[in-house]
Amino acid sequence: MGTPSSMTRTGKHEPWELQVSRGQIAFHETLFKYGYNPLIINVNETIWDVGGLYAYPSSAVAMTATSASGATDAGVTGIISGLDTDYNEVSETFTLDGSGVYTTTQTFLRVYRAYITGATAPAGNINITNGGTTYARITAGENQTLMAVYTVPAGKTMYIGKGTATHGTDTSGAFMTVRFLFRPQGGVFRTTTKIDLIGDNIQFDFEYPLEIPEKSDVEVRAICSKNQNNALAASWQAVLVDNIIP
pLDDT at position 246 is: 66
DSSP string across 24-61: -STTEEEEEEEEEEEEE-SS-EESSSS-S-----SS-E
Element (H, E) at 221: strand 217-224
Element (H, E) at 85: none
pLDDT at position 9 is: 60
Interatomic CA distance for residues 52 and 39, integer angstroms: 9
Mean pLDDT by groups of 10 residues along the chain of 246 residues: 55 79 90 96 96 98 98 98 98 98 98 97 98 97 98 98 89 89 97 91 90 98 92 96 85
Which of 58, 178, 48, 59 lies closest to 114 in space, CA to CA?
48
Strand partners, 94: 78
CA 150 to chain centre: 5
Find the radius of gyration of the CA atoms of the chain. Answer: 20
pLDDT at position 2 is: 55
Which of 180, 165, 170, 182 lies closest to 225 in space, CA to CA?
170
**First vs last C-alpha separation in the chain:** 35
Q: Which residues in 43-141 belong to E strands, given as ranges?
A: 45-46, 61-67, 77-83, 89-95, 101-108, 110-116, 126-130, 133-138
Interatomic CA distance for residues 113 and 65, integer angstroms: 13
pLDDT at position 166 is: 94
- 34-37: Cβ within 8 A, 24+ apart: 34/146, 34/148, 34/233, 34/234, 34/235, 35/146, 35/147, 35/148, 35/149, 35/220, 35/233, 35/234, 35/235, 36/146, 36/231, 36/232, 36/233, 36/234, 37/222, 37/231, 37/232, 37/233
pLDDT at position 233 is: 97
pLDDT at position 11 is: 56
Contact 85, 109 (CB under 8 A): yes
pLDDT at position 24 is: 83
pLDDT at position 154 is: 98
pLDDT at position 168 is: 83
pLDDT at position 23 is: 87
H, E, C per residue of 165-219: EEECCCCCCCCEEEEEEEECCCCCCEEEEEEEECCCEEEEEEEEEEEECCCCEEE
DSSP type of residue 5: -
